[in-house]
Amino acid sequence: MRLIVSSLEDTASQNILNNLLEYGWESTGEWQESPIYGREDDRMVTVNRHHIYAEGIDVELSGILGPIDHMVFISKHASKAGIHSLTVHPIGNFGKAKFGGKDRKLVPPAPHEMTGALRALHDIATGKGLTREYQVSFEATHHGPLLETPAYYIEIGSDQGSWSDVRAGEVIGMTLMEPETCKKTSCPIIFGIGGGHYAPEFTDLARRRKVSMGHMVPGWALKELDRELFGMGLAQSQAEMVMISKDVGEEMLNKIESWCHEMGVRLVDEASLKRL
Encode pLDDT of 3-59 as tens digits: 999 999 999 999 999 999 999 999 999 999 999 999 999 999 999 999 999 999 999
* ω into 158 cis (within 30 of 0): yes
Task: State whether residue 163 is helix, strand or coil.
Answer: helix
Average pLDDT over residues 133-156: 98
Average pLDDT over residues 78-101: 94
Q: What is the pLDDT of residues 210-256, one digit of tens each?
A: 999 999 999 999 999 999 999 999 999 999 999 999 889 999 999 99
SS3 for 48-87 is: CCCHHHCCCHHHHHHHHHCCCCEEEEEEEEECCCCCCEEE
Mutual angle of helices 250-263 and 227-237, in 10-degree steps: 60
Report whether 129 contacts 180 (CB < 8 A).
Answer: no
Q: What is the pLDDT of residues 150-163, one digit of tens each?
A: 999 999 999 999 99
Report percent pLDDT > 70 for the chain: 100
d(CA 151, CA 48): 19
Flag whether pLDDT at 275 surpasses 80.
no
Average confidence score pLDDT of the chain: 95
How far CA 8 is from CA of 11, 140, 223, in Å, comes to 8, 25, 35
Report whether 149 contacts 197 (CB < 8 A).
Answer: no
At 54 the pLDDT is: 96
Identify the CATH number of the domain defined by range 2-273. Answer: 3.40.630.50
At 199 the pLDDT is: 96
Average pLDDT over residues 111-130: 97
d(CA 46, CA 35): 8
At 137 the pLDDT is: 98
Q: How far is C-alpha 249 from the chain's CA centre?
A: 26
Q: What is the dihedral of CA 242, 194, 176, 92, to 10 degrees?
A: 90
Q: How many CB atoms lie within 10 A of CB 103?
A: 11
Q: How many CB atoms lie within 10 A of CB 259?
A: 18
Which run of H or E residues covers position 146?
Answer: none
d(CA 262, CA 96): 27
